[in-house]
């Protein structure tokens, strides 16, 4: 078994420039020449900027590294290597640019401050990878925005503080980010604008008092404790309150997005607390309603990640039964957690082991999806599922004719079925006619093939292969010989003697065909008011002779023959007419009888004449 690498290529789908958020595939292709057709295991490794990002083992010539949602962090130089039986092939490097950045999220620790106090802002670029540059803008009515630039080398967020100056009343803040690419700098969109209201001493209380006199209730106040920026696992408490003129029929509703988390009636204060998770980040809403009047206050909360989602890795994702499988769970940059390995099931999750690593010897029933969970400070996170496929080898396939009999009529289609009793689907079946591949079909346990081009010499040579992803390779059926049945053509009938036959003599009827597969069924008929079957016989020949003994006058009439074979087509000859006549001796007897009668009649007449004359 000799092989050599012609080249190793790396390419990107859909292109080397991908929009942020779009799917992307990195494909490594090995072009290998072999002296014979044998299976070869390829170890594919894909690198990004010199770091390993993907590995797989396959007997195919291609490996795909799928990135369902491309982010700017996926920008870089990609290359791949292929190792097979000690030989190594390298691709060239290809630069992939994921254009665009995610929209930043801006949060403030306070929504109301006094002059001289500090507002702490946090700007985050989710799913972006440092180094990054953050730009914060303070926007004041009727003045140009003030901007702060903060470079970050190790994290995808940044925090700054702004002092509230004299004369500030209502401030707006936003932020945006930048990152360096080969062509220069790339900027993100601007974040949401965060509004901060400035309270000026006792004027705030005067404002509230006047408001309560003119409206049934004031716009609610929504605060969080300890702050609106917390870490996963921390206890976070929301307080929503209002000032009302009349407590009756007042209703306070607290919700996130469209989900109502808590509500109270006939009260002016609401509390809600929970253990923070990353899903709790977002905009919260406190709504106060009384009759047809409704007022709302919103607050953005940011929950920092305590630890990233775990990642489940498998020693192999496609493997033969009875092979060893190792599943391992890990958290990038984080080791102190409670791990568990889970198998997904329609009836619920199945705990395999409360550990980072799970090893087992697999069988076909172990095919399925697996995940792992990690728990830190009561926060449980689950990895993306990993699909494991376990394959049993295919059994030797059987090839047969669908109709049951290994025969086909010339000019008619032939339908074959290839079936493997054992083997994990999908199974690829290949049909051969002689040494020529006619069709490839992928199915579960069987495949059909219709040969519509049946020739006179197609008397055998059909076979089929079956293979699946098991390493045992291809299994081949026995060769199926199919008999081609040639239909009957041009039946003819003759007789000896022909035309006229003497009574009492024998007649030989000869029925023959020009073409047709043996055996052939011959039938002889005489035409009367209805068809009368006189004789039938099966011959391994294209002709037959029927001897009819002692012909009689009643045998005069029209005769024909019919021929058929396993093509089930009856072919009828042209009719012939047979006349049965008297034999020569019979004619002599009749003549002698007539002459004797005439002589007797003459003698009587002469005697009468002489007797009369005498008188």
CATH number, residue 346: 2.60.40.10
Residue 258 has pLDDT above 90, yes or no: no
On the 0-12 / 13-18 / 19+ scale of CB atoms within 10 A, 78 is: buried
Establish how many alpha carbons lie within 13 A of residue 590's alpha carbon, considering only the half-sphere containing its beta carbon. Answer: 6
Query: Are 483 and 518 within 8 A, CB to CB?
Result: no
Return the minimum-mean-pLDDT range out of 175-179, 190-194, 327-331: 190-194
More confident residue, 24 or 279: 24
504 lies in some domain? yes
> Do both 95 and 11 map to the same domain?
yes
Q: What confidence score (pLDDT) does residue 459 get?
A: 59
Q: What confidence score (pLDDT) does residue 460 get?
A: 58
Residue 525 has pLDDT above 60, yes or no: yes
DSSP E strands in 308-444: the ranges are: 311-314, 318-320, 324-330, 338-343, 350-353, 357-361, 368-376, 379-382, 386-391, 398-401, 407-409, 414-419, 427-433, 436-443
Domain extent for 464:
398-485
- Grade residue 23 by pLDDT with cuts at 50, 70 and 90: very high
> Do both 335 and 386 map to the same domain?
yes
Return the minimum-mean-pLDDT range out of 297-301, 339-343, 473-477, 498-502: 498-502
Q: Which of 260, 280, 301 is the last residue of a domain?
A: 301
> Do both 125 and 181 map to the same domain?
yes
Return the minimum-mean-pLDDT range out of 105-114, 350-359, 552-561: 105-114
263 lies in some domain? yes
Angstrom distance (rounded) from CA 132 to CA 180: 8
> Do both 144 and 187 map to the same domain?
yes
> Do both 454 and 532 map to the same domain?
no
Q: What are 447-470's pLDDT values in tens digits? A: 998 888 777 776 558 999 999 989
Establish how many alpha carbons lie within 13 A of residue 458's alpha carbon, considering only the half-sphere containing its beta carbon. Answer: 22
The percent of residues above 90 in pLDDT, for the chain, comes to 38
Q: What confidence score (pLDDT) does residue 99 get?
A: 86
Q: CA-CA-CA-CA torsion for 201, 202, 207, 213, nearest 10 degrees?
A: 160
Q: Which of 172, 198, 224 is the last residue of a domain?
A: 198
Q: What confidence score (pLDDT) does residue 506 get?
A: 86
Number of domains observed in the structure of the chain: 6
And the tokens for 573? 């000859």
Residue 521 has pLDDT above 70, yes or no: yes
Query: Are 428 and 442 within 8 A, CB to CB?
Result: yes
Non-local CB neighbours of 243 within 8 Å, separated by 6+ positions: 208, 211, 212, 217, 218, 268
607 lies in some domain? no
Residue 512 has pLDDT above 60, yes or no: yes
More confident residue, 222 or 198: 222
Q: What is the DSSP letter of 589?
A: H
Q: What confidence score (pLDDT) does residue 215 get?
A: 59
> Do both 95 and 109 map to the same domain?
no
Q: What confidence score (pLDDT) does residue 159 get?
A: 93
Q: What confidence score (pLDDT) does residue 197 get?
A: 67
Query: Are 268 and 290 within 8 A, CB to CB?
Result: no
> Do both 456 and 529 map to the same domain?
no
Angstrom distance (rounded) from CA 124 to CA 130: 11
Residue 556 has pLDDT above 80, yes or no: yes
More confident residue, 38 or 596: 38
> Do both 381 and 418 map to the same domain?
no
Residue 204 has pLDDT above 50, yes or no: no
Query: Taking the model in full, what pTM does it have?
Result: 0.47
Residue 203 has pLDDT above 70, yes or no: no
375 lies in some domain? yes
The residue whose two tokens read 């069988």 is: 363
> Do both 255 and 180 map to the same domain?
no
What does the radius of gyration of the chain's CA atoms come to, in whole angstroms? 50
Query: How many CB atoms neighbour CB 127 within 10 A?
Result: 15
615 lies in some domain? no
> Do both 506 and 462 map to the same domain?
no
More confident residue, 126 or 123: 123
Q: Which of 198, 226, 241 is the last residue of a domain?
A: 198
> Do both 46 and 129 map to the same domain?
no
Q: What are 385-420's pLDDT values in tens digits? A: 999 999 999 999 999 998 888 888 887 888 999 999
Angstrom distance (rounded) from CA 253 to CA 443: 56
598 lies in some domain? no
Q: What confidence score (pLDDT) does residue 310 get?
A: 92
595 lies in some domain? no
DSSP E strands in 59-127: the ranges are: 62-67, 76-84, 87-90, 94-99, 105-108, 112-114, 118-124
> Do both 376 and 411 map to the same domain?
no
353 lies in some domain? yes
Query: Are 196 and 119 within 8 A, CB to CB?
Result: yes
- Interior angle at CA 288, CA 285 and CA 293, nearest 5: 125
């Amino acid at each position: 078994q000799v092989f050599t690498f012609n080249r190793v290529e790396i390419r990107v789908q859909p292109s080397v420039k991908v929009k942020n958020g779009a799917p992307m595939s990195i494909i490594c292709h090995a072009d290998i020449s072999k002296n014979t057709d044998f299976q070869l295991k390829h170890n594919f490794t894909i690198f990004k900027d010199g770091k390993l990002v993907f590995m797989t083992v396959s007997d195919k010539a291609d490996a795909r590294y799928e990135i369902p949602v491309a982010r700017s962090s996926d920008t870089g130089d990609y290359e791949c290597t292929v190792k097979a039986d000690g030989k190594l092939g390298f691709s060239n490097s290809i630069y992939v640019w994921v254009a665009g950045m995610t929209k930043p999220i801006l949060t403030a620790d306070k929504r109301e401050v006094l002059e001289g106090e500090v507002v702490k802002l946090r700007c985050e670029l989710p799913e972006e990878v440092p180094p990054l540059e953050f730009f914060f803008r303070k926007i004041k009515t009727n003045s140009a925005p003030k901007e702060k630039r903060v470079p970050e080398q190790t994290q995808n967020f940044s925090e700054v503080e702004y002092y509230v100056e004299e004369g500030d009343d209502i401030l707006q803040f936003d932020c945006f980010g930048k990152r360096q690419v080969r062509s220069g700098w790339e900027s993100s969109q601007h974040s949401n604008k965060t509004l901060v209201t400035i309270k000026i001493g006792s004027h705030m209380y005067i404002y509230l008092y006047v408001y309560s006199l003119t409206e049934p209730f004031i716009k609610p106040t929504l605060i969080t404790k300890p702050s609106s920026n917390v870490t996963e696992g921390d206890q976070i408490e929301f307080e929503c309150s209002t000032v009302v003129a009349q407590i009756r029929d007042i209703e306070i509703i607290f919700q996130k997005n469209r989900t109502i988390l808590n509500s109270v009636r006939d009260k002016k204060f609401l509390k809600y607390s929970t253990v923070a998770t990353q899903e709790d980040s977002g905009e919260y809403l406190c709504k106060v309603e009384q009759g047809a009047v409704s007022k709302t206050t919103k607050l953005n909360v940011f929950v920092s990640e305590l630890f990233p989602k775990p990642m489940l890795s498998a020693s192999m994702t496609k493997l033969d039964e009875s092979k060893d499988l190792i599943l391992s769970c890990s958290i990038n940059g984080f080791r102190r957690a409670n791990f568990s390995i889970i198998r997904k099931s329609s009836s619920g999750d199945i705990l395999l082991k409360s550990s980072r690593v799970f090893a087992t010897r697999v069988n076909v029933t172990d095919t399925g999806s697996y995940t792992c969970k990690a728990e830190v400070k009561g926060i449980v996170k689950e990895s993306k599922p990993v699909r494991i496929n376990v394959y049993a080898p295919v059994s030797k396939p059987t090839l047969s004719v669908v109709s049951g009999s290994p025969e086909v009529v010339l000019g008619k289609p032939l339908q074959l079925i290839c079936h493997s009793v054992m083997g994990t689907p999908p199974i690829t079946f290949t049909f051969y006619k002689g040494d020529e591949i006619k069709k490839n079909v992928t199915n579960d346990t069987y495949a059909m093939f219709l040969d519509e081009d049946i020739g006179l010499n197609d008397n055998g040579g059909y076979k089929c292969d079956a293979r699946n992803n098991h390493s045992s390779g291809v299994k081949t059926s026995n060769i199926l010989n199919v008999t081609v049945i040639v239909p009957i053509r041009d039946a003819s009938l003759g007789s000896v003697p022909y035309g006229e036959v003497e009574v009492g003599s024998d007649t030989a009827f000869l029925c023959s065909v020009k073409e047709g597969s043996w055996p052939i069924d011959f039938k002889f008929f005489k035409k009367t008011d209805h068809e009368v079957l006189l004789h039938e016989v099966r011959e391994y020949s294209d002709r037959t002779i029927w001897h009819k003994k002692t012909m009689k006058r009643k045998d005069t009439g029209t005769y024909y023959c019919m021929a058929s074979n396993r093509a089930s087509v009856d072919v009828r000859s042209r009719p012939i007419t047979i006349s049965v006549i008297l034999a020569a001796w019979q004619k002599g007897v009749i003549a002698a009888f007539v002459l004797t009668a005439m002589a007797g009649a003459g003698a009587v007449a002469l005697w009468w004449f002489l007797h009369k004359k005498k008188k």
